[in-house]
Amino acid sequence: MLYRTYIPKAPLAEFVDLFWFYDGFPQRPHKKERLMPDGSTEVVINLRQDEIRVYDREKLERFDRFGGGILCGPHSNFFVIDTEEQASVIGIHFKPGGAFPFFKLPVDELHNQHVGLDDLWGTEAGLLRERLLEAATPEDKFKVLEDCLTEQAFKPLHRHPAVGFALTLFGNMDRVRTIAEVTDQIGLSPRHFIQLFSGQVGLTPKLFCRVRRFQQVLKLIHTVGEFDWVDIAANCGYFDQAHFIHDFKAFSGINPTTYAASKTEHLNHVPILE
């Protein structure tokens, strides 16, 4: 079993959180997993089979089949993946607002979407997978990804200053921020700011903050030994318990108690027991 990560050099480091590589993971007792939304964008390439399947959230016997590479747009809904496809996979985990320079399709059109990498990068997607298969070591594979991203940059590698400022502000989860708090400091109208933010991040500012707050809840569940749902709701800025449970189910499809009982070592992966 092998797991490696790599943080690319600047300027890619401003947009990419990390590259990751899994190989030889043991077969899990469950066939599918619920993947929680975190508002980021991900490229996933299957190195074992030249296909990736994404399942219907309600009817698990239905699925969409893609080629060996896929782009998972910024999600605010959970989606379902096949654990058998995790035997040998490599991916790019973009920072929030980090994917837009590398794809011609506007990021807000990718909200809750999966798109084949070949539909976005054409023949380069297939060539990328071939180069990854030929690369002998994880380090060699990461170099392939780094070179490919640099070549695929369609836009200048910098964010709009207002978007960068907002992401920094929203990243501080000590208290809930409002759009007015941001626009008052950057000198843009709320409408213009929302358009800029959605175009580069893929979610509206309000929805992005809701997703990040949901992620804060997941982290607390994983890190706090004994917890109280009322305390978690209050610490994460929810109005009351009903608001907390409603938001949690909207993003995850399950209630907080079910998540806590079935959580794994991976924050955003929850087994589906059929």
How does 214-252 read in b/e, with b if 16+ C-beta sit within 10 Å? bbebbeebeeeeeeebeebbeebbbeeeeebbebbeebb
Strand order in the sheet with 52-55: 63-66, 52-55, 79-82, 32-35, 269-272
Residue 26's pLDDT is: 64
Each residue's pLDDT, cut to its tens digit, for the chain (274 residues) gives 899 999 999 999 999 999 999 998 666 667 899 999 999 999 999 999 999 999 998 888 899 999 999 999 999 999 999 887 778 999 999 999 999 999 998 899 999 999 999 999 999 999 999 999 999 999 999 999 999 999 999 888 999 999 999 998 887 766 666 778 888 888 889 999 999 999 999 999 999 999 999 999 999 999 877 778 999 998 888 989 999 999 999 999 999 999 999 888 889 999 987 6
Same domain? For 148 and 193 the reply is: no
**Residue 107 lies inside a defined structural domain of this protein:** yes
Which residue, 128, 152, 176, sits at the end of a domain? 152
Where does a domain end: 152, 175, 210?
152
Q: What is the per-residue pLDDT for 254?
A: 95
Q: Which two tokens stand for residue 108?
A: 């807000």
CATH number at residue 188: 1.10.10.60
Let me know whether 169 and 256 are in one domain. yes
Same domain, 145 and 74: yes
Q: Are residues 165 and 50 in the same domain?
A: no
Specify if 55 maps to a domain: yes
Within a domain: 241: yes
Quick one: 248 and 116 in the same domain? no
Last residue of a domain, one of 152, 176, 196: 152
> Is the same domain home to 9 and 130?
yes
Q: What percent of the chain is helix, strand and coil (3-state, nearest 5)?
A: 45, 20, 35
Whether 16 and 95 share a structural domain: yes
32, 253 Cβ separation under 8 angstroms: no
The pLDDT assigned to 33 comes to: 93
pLDDT of residue 170: 87
Q: What domain range is 257 assigned to?
A: 161-264
The rounded distance, in Å, linking the Cα atoms of 32 and 85 is 10
Is 270 part of a structural domain of the chain?
no
Residue 274 resides in a domain? no
d(CA 218, CA 256): 9
For residues 147 and 165, membership in a common domain is answered with: no
Return the pLDDT at 259. Answer: 95
In this structure, is residue 273 part of a structural domain?
no
Q: Is residue 219 part of a domain?
A: yes
Q: How many domains does the chain have?
A: 2
Residues 41 and 74 in one domain: yes
114 shares its domain with 57: yes
- CATH code of the domain covering residue 126: 2.60.120
* Phi, psi of 84, rounded to the nearest 5 degrees: -65, -25
Q: Are residues 124 and 222 in the same domain?
A: no
pTM of the predicted model over 0.75: yes
Same domain, 143 and 177: no
Q: Would residue 271 count as lying in a domain?
A: no
